[in-house]
């Protein structure tokens, strides 16, 4: 028999086996007993295929066995995440609990309404109340969310240290047994008589949902991480215990992910995450819904004999299925990401710290040497994960290697981020900040004009004007203004041809245009050097090149200059003593806004054409970004300051061949990406539109590039 026929025969045999038997993985003796009872019940009802039961130690073992030794197991949200990510298993049947399908409950953060100073963005050094270590609403979701969003920095899997540094004091029952910092138990009270403090059971009065809320209600903590029903279960007379008497639900509010607050009744729209229902997971080649659906028709809640959703008769709870299940429903979108939802998925990413090494992509001899020194320095301070340095030819080679999982991380500029995200599926993990703020912006691109009462034109009147640009392919001076003019239909060109674009402005200075054989009027305003040579050169020999040069062009020859937001202030009010700028006043200039208005030059945050994004570290989407940021954030404590005494300098390349190695030399600090966790969110809508509109070139022209930013 040929190898091809053998494969076909094997596949047929496997399919027949699938039709004959469903092998259910159980994780306890009690569950095994129930499974065999279900097997007998299904056989009596002639439900096919046959059910068989196998016993393993844990859900983790079951995930690994669902290849050849097992077919199905019911998992909670956290296990579904690992089953999908590590074993390619799919959720196919979901449990329904007489509420929103796919939802078990909502994890929320609750605060006192009277304390209006707290929001999700300033929880650092607040006092926190948790249901318990390792519990979903009290630990997994809030800690995972805070880490994934970059609000809490964690190196490797040092959860205790990260949480202990983030909150000033906490009650996290069960954390003491993990060897975590003492302040994670400092708010716990035990049984109220100095016993059982911080235990993960009801001996600790601040344990579980009601206990965490009590911790908040008694003014011990500032925020409680609980589920959406907890406040209502313990207020407005619902709980007769002494501590809950007189509590009103209206005295509490929820913290929302966007930084706002909401009433506790608005948990459906204001929460940290929707906690997914449990689901049955299988391999991609296994069909099980019809089998289970037939079973629940016979043995659902109304059955007089065996009941699928009952466990107490076997001496356990939630065996095979959660006891509160009322129905099993087929899942149509069978990916684990879709079932978990973006909020819960993000929390799971924040808890995923399984990255033993971080392979950094280097693109030059100097960068490889700096990376090697960085790895040695990090290792000396016991920073994790360990950094390994790998060489690549160029940025595209890095992108391909990261896509193939041969390398883990590399720093890229805006144009490279666009390509890496669009063509290779990479995502940003860490951003550079050049101002010390977490704004993810290198600068803002603006259009500057003179303040003239007799000629107050707007963006809608630019056609036929004389324009000044920083240079060919540069973001603020060419790509952004021209790309957005095309996007808005103001510059109605049939293609990306610079010949057509040159017809929009009557005359320009676009340094570098002559080198690209662009139309001559794009160089008409240029003046070259002091001797009139090097006219329209892309170098500094052209006096109108760069940001300061384009602004000088506006002052001496043009009507609009496309520069960055700091250019006017850097060259006016005595800040530039060159003869051409010495007496210029910033008040003599204005900005053109995209909405057709004008604004003062200091209003660039509201009136700009695009935010030019900072450089970012890009990784494969399966790489936990929180691990990358956690490592680099801790590293910059030791090596981020150029005057640090520890030997290595993260943001200085002066000891190596080249500049901006590993990180841009002007970086002041590294920041989390937060909600800007895709390439499109990172570069911004206007920047994306501008680049997309110039992503082609006219005949005989070299393609435009954004490498010069």
Q: Which residues are annotated as a binding site for hydrogencarbonate?
A: 131, 135, 137-138, 470, 474, 476-477
Taking the CB of residue 10, how many other CB atoms lie within 10 A of it? 10
Rounded to whole angstroms, the Cα distance separating 412 from 371 reads 15
Q: Classify 546 as helix, strand or coil.
A: helix
Question: Residue 483 to residues 36, 45, 569: CA-CA distances in angstroms?
Answer: 67, 68, 26
H, E, C per residue of 119-180: CHHHCCCCEEEECCCCCHHHHHHHHHHHHHCCCCCCCCCCHHHHHHHHCCEEECCCCHHHCC
Closest CA to 112 of 254, 289, 287, 232: 254
Parallel/antiparallel/unpaired status of strands 127-130 and 169-171: parallel
Rounded to whole angstroms, the Cα distance separating 107 from 110 reads 10
Residue ranges for the binding site for Fe(3+)? 105, 209, 413, 443, 615
Rounded to whole angstroms, the Cα distance separating 103 from 76 reads 11
- For residue 486, what are the contacts with CB-CB under 8 A and spacing of at least 6? 493, 693, 694
- Length, in residues, of the chain: 709
The first and second tokens of residue 669, run together, are: 């600090």
Closest CA to 327 of 90, 97, 34: 97
Torsion sign (Cα): 21, 22, 24, 25: positive
Show the CA angle centred on residue 299, arms to residues 311 and 291, nearest 5°. Answer: 105
Rounded to whole angstroms, the Cα distance separating 40 from 82 reads 32
Residue ranges for the binding site? 105, 131, 135, 137-138, 209, 413, 443, 470, 474, 476-477, 615
Phi, psi (deg, nearest 5) at residue 231: -60, -45
């Amino acid at each position: 028999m040929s190898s091809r026929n053998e494969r076909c025969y094997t596949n047929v045999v496997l399919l027949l086996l699938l039709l004959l038997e469903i092998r259910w993985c159980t994780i306890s003796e009690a569950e095994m007993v129930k499974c065999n009872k279900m097997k007998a019940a299904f056989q009596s009802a002639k439900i096919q295929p046959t059910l068989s039961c196998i016993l393993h130690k844990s859900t983790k073992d079951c995930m690994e066995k669902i290849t050849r030794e097992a077919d199905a197991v019911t998992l909670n949200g956290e296990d579904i995440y690992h089953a999908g990510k590590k074993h390619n298993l799919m959720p196919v049947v979901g449990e329904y609990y007489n509420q929103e399908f796919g939802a078990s409950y909502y994890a929320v953060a609750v605060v006192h309404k009277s304390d209006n100073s707290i929001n999700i963005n300033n929880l650092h050094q607040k006092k926190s109340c948790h249901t318990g270590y390792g519990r979903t609403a009290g630990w997994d979701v809030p800690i995972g969310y805070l880490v994934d969003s970059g609000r809490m920095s964690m190196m490797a899997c040092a959860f205790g240290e990260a949480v202990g540094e983030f909150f000033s004091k906490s009650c996290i029952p069960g954390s003491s047994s993990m060897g975590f910092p003492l302040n994670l138990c400092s708010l716990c009270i035990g049984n109220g008589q100095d016993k059982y403090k911080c235990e993960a059971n009801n001996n600790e009065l601040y344990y579980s949902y009601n206990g965490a809320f009590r911790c908040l209600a008694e003014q011990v903590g500032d925020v409680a991480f609980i589920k959406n029903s907890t406040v209502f279960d313990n207020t407005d007379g619902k709980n007769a215990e002494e501590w809950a008497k007189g509590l009103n639900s209206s005295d509490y509010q929820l913290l929302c992910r966007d930084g706002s607050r909401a009433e506790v009744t608005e948990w459906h729209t204001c929460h940290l995450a929707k906690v997914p229902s449990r689901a049955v997971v299988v391999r991609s080649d296994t069909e099980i819904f019809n089998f289970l659906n037939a079973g629940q028709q016979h043995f659902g809640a109304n059955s007089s004999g065996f009941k699928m959703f009952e466990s107490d008769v076997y001496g356990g709870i939630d065996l095979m299925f959660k006891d509160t299940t009322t129905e099993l429903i087929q899942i149509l979108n069978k990916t684990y990401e879709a079932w978990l939802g973006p909020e819960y998925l993000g929390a799971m990413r924040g808890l995923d710290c399984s990255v033993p090494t971080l392979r950094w992509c280097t693109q030059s001899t100097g960068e490889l040497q700096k990376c090697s020194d960085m790895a040695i320095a990090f290792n000396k301070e016991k920073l994790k994960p360990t950094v390994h340095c790998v060489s690549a030819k160029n940025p595209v080679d890095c992108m391909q290697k990261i896509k193939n999982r041969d390398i883990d991380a590399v720093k890229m500029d805006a144009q490279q981020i666009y390509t890496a995200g669009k063509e290779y599926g990479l995502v940003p993990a860490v951003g550079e900040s050049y101002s010390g703020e977490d704004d993810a912006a290198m600068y803002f691109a603006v259009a500057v004009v003179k303040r003239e009462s007799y000629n107050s034109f707007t963006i809608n009147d630019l056609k036929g004007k004389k324009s000044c640009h920083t240079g060919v392919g540069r973001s603020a001076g060419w790509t952004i203004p021209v790309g957005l003019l095309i996007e808005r239909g103001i510059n109605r060109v049939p293609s990306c041809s610079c010949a057509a674009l040159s017809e929009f402005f009557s005359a320009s200075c676009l340094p570098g245009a002559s080198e690209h054989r662009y139309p001559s009027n794009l160089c008409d305003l240029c003046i070259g050097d002091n001797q009139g040579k090097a006219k329209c050169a892309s170098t500094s020999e052209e006096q109108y090149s760069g940001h300061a040069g384009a602004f000088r062009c506006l002052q001496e020859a043009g009507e609009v200059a496309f520069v960055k937001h700091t250019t006017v202030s850097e060259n006016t009010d005595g800040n530039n003593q060159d003869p051409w700028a010495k007496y210029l006043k910033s008040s003599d200039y204005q900005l053109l806004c995209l909405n057709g208005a004008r604004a003062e030059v200091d209003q660039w945050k509201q009136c700009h054409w695009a935010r030019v994004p900072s450089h970012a570290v890009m990784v494969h989407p399966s790489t936990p970004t929180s691990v990358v940021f956690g490592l680099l954030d801790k590293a910059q404590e030791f090596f981020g300051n150029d005057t640090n005494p520890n030997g290595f300098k993260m943001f200085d390349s002066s000891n190596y061949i080249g500049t901006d190695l590993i990180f841009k030399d002007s970086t002041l600090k590294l920041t989390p990406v937060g909600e800007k966790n895709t390439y499109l969110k990172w570069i911004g809508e206007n920047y994306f539109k501008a680049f997309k509109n110039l992503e082609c070139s006219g005949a005989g022209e070299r393609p435009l590039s954004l490498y010069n930013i």
